[in-house]
Structure 1
Amino acid sequence: MKTLANKVALVTGSARGLGRAIAERYAALGASVVLNYYRDQAAADEVLRTVQALGVPAIAVQADMSRVADIERLFAEAQRAYGRLDIVVANAGVELVDLPATDFTEAQFDHLFSLNAKGTYFTLQQGARAVADNGRLLYVASSTTAFPAPGMAVYGGSKTPGRYLIDVLAKELGPRGITANSIIPYATAGAGIFTEGHSSVEYLIVANPMGRLATVADVANVAEFFASDLASFVSGQHLLVNGGANL
């Protein structure tokens, strides 16, 4: 069913991984899509072709989501193309793992916080300004924000502020019927550091009650729910997509 027909969705960091899966899911449900990429135009063009093959309008916009001017330009181009936005997904982010809290540098801190915290804040701010009444704001967080872990001080810390902003937006935008929610994925095969595998994969599989990593489809399923009419009264929530794991 084309449950998102006549809707427009903007997904940051959608040239690969979770962002790509969410954008393609929304397109399959009938939404027009605004893709975003940073450097890899070839990957973005591939996603653009896939989305357009589903029979929906789509554009791909290069923008560095750590730069406020680029974020503003992305939203302006989306508005010029479609005249409205109904769904905004703040997904763009960068990972840094296996780094003890005693060892990170100022440059590493600034790099992660400029995209994961600052970029998310200003993306959601632009989304709050642009999204239509009864629209949807989503933030793709990380399970490290729910379960602090060794080696994740900077990464988990940089992904935490977005969750707080979601709580605030749920309250501020509720009168307009707009929902704001977070998706908190487990380690996900085919996304981030797990795109090509990682030394911790076997441990994470064994530690999960379901005996596997998350998939990009698992996360897209939740993004579909939050974007749908079924979630019209679900806001300010942070949904773990982790198979019952405690890490």
Structure 2
Amino acid sequence: MNTLQNKVALITGSARGLGKAIAERYAALGASIILNYSRDKASTEEVVKNITGMGARVIAVQADVTKPQDVARLFQEGLKAFGKIDIVVANAGIELIQLPVTDFTEEQFDRVFSINVKGSYFTLQEAARHIADNGRILYISSSTTTSPVPGMAVYGGSKTTPKYLVEILAKEIGHRGVTVNSIIPGPVAATGVFSEMSTGDPFYQELLNGSPMGRLTTVDDVADIAEFFASDLAGFVSGQHLLVNGGSIY
């Protein structure tokens, strides 16, 4: 069994969805957790309660990843609380789907790229500055970066850019024993836009029809891979992008 005893993990956007699942998985494996949220304090308090119930140490830091000064403060508060950071997961992001290229606005473009690109870049930058030697850095990408889907131009583009940074960073700090990888989930059930979408929705059905296994990705599917990348098993895997979609065309 993998263990993260005596490790400290920082996960952005960890009030719900994938970030929550990864934070709770790491806590179950013994890690101390630095949660991050932007606005949803109530959901964050629930995650804190869950993690405390596992016997793990946890703090929650409100920080807007689109503001580099907030990202820097997030890391500083984590270091102040635990003295080190061994694992960083750049997870915070938003979706924009079913919007043709001819229809997106400048406001939509700026918001999505501010969170998904700028937020991820500065999170990864702070991770590079502060992560302990032999640490693990993960970026949560999207299968829209590998299988272009109509209506996903802005979202898929915003998730593509940080993947390039992952490969650069793996080369720049690999000498410290730090690995840098990305996880590329397919559409994740019950999270983001799919938390409010009926399974009978034509788009949902289209995604199911494209999956050989007849289902969407789950948060546990992604947490499994996040566990692998954070463990000693992945100590010589770096600069890689692992697709987690069950062989789906999406």
Report the TM-score, using the length of structure 2 for normalisation.
0.97
- Alignment deviations for residues 126-157 of structure 1 (CA, whole Å, 9 cap, x no partner): 00111000000000000001111100111011
1:217 counterpart = 2:223: no
1:203 aligns with 2:206: yes
- Find the counterpart in structure 2 of residue 10 from structure 1: 10
Partner of 1:131: 131
Aligned residues of 1:17 and 1:195 also touching (Cα < 8 A): no
| Matched residue type, 1:136 | R
- Measured after TM superposition, the shift of residue 197 of structure 1 is 2.5
Mapping for residues 144-163 of structure 1, pairs under 5 Å: 144-163=144-163
Q: Which residue of 1 aligns with 2:49?
A: 49
Matched position secondary structure for 2:135 = strand
Distance 1:157 1:164 in 2: 12
Q: After alignment, is 121-130 or 201-210 more displaced? A: 201-210
Q: For residues 67-112 of structure 1, what are the alpha-carbon distances to aligned partners after superposition, in whole Å with 9 as ceiling and x for unaligned? A: 1111111011001001100000000001111111111111111100
| Residues 71-220 of structure 1: pairs in structure 2 closer than 5 A | 71-198=71-198, 199=201, 200-220=203-223
Contact 2:72-2:126 within 8 A present in 1 as well: yes
Residue identity in the other structure for 1:95: E
> Which amino acid letter does the alignment assign opposite residue 145 of structure 1?
T
TM-aligned CA deviation for residue 195 of structure 1: 1.5
Q: Deviations over 1:2-37 (max 9, x none)?
A: 600000000000000000000000000000000001
Check whether the contact 1:4–1:29 (CA below 8 A) recurs between aligned residues: yes
CA distance, structure 2, for counterparts of residue 31 and residue 13 of structure 1: 18
Deviation at 1:196, TM superposition (A): 2.4
Cα pair 2:2 2:231 within 8 Å, conserved: no
The 3-state SS of whatever aligns with 1:246 is coil
Letter in 2 for 1:53: G
**Structural RMSD (CA):** 0.9
Please tell me the residue identity of whatever aligns with 1:162: P
Distance apart, 1:235 and its partner CA? 0.5
Q: Is the Cα–Cα contact under 8 Å of residues 36 and 63 in structure 1 kept in the other structure? A: yes
**In 2: Cα distance, 1:129 partner to 1:99 partner:** 37
Moved more, 89-98 or 202-211: 202-211
* 1:230 matches 2:233: yes
CA distance in 1 between counterparts of 2:2 and 2:56 reads 11
- Distance 1:48-1:29 versus aligned 2 partners, 3 A rule: same
Question: Aligned partners of 2:209 and 2:237: how far apart in 1?
Answer: 32
More strand by share: 1
Asked if 1 retains the 8 angstrom alpha-carbon contact of 2:24 and 2:50, the reply is yes
The Cα offsets for residues 14-67 of structure 1, whole Å up to 9 and x where unpaired, read as 000000000000000000000001101000000000011110100011111111
Whether contact under 8 Å (2:93, 2:116) holds in the other structure is yes
Q: How far did 1:187 drift?
A: 0.6
Q: Does 1:246 align with 2:249?
A: yes
> Partners in 2 of 1:203 and 1:153 — Cα distance?
18
Query: Secondary structure in 2 aligned to 1:49?
Result: helix
Distance in 1 of aligned mates of 2:204 and 2:131: 38
Give the AA of the match of 2:126. Answer: Q
Segments of 5+ residues of structure 2 without an aligned counterpart are none
- Residue 25 (structure 1) aligns with: 25
Q: Deviations over 1:142-175 (max 9, x none)?
A: 0001111100111011111110000001111110
Contact 1:189 1:197 in 2 (8 A): no
4+ long deviations beyond 4 Å = none
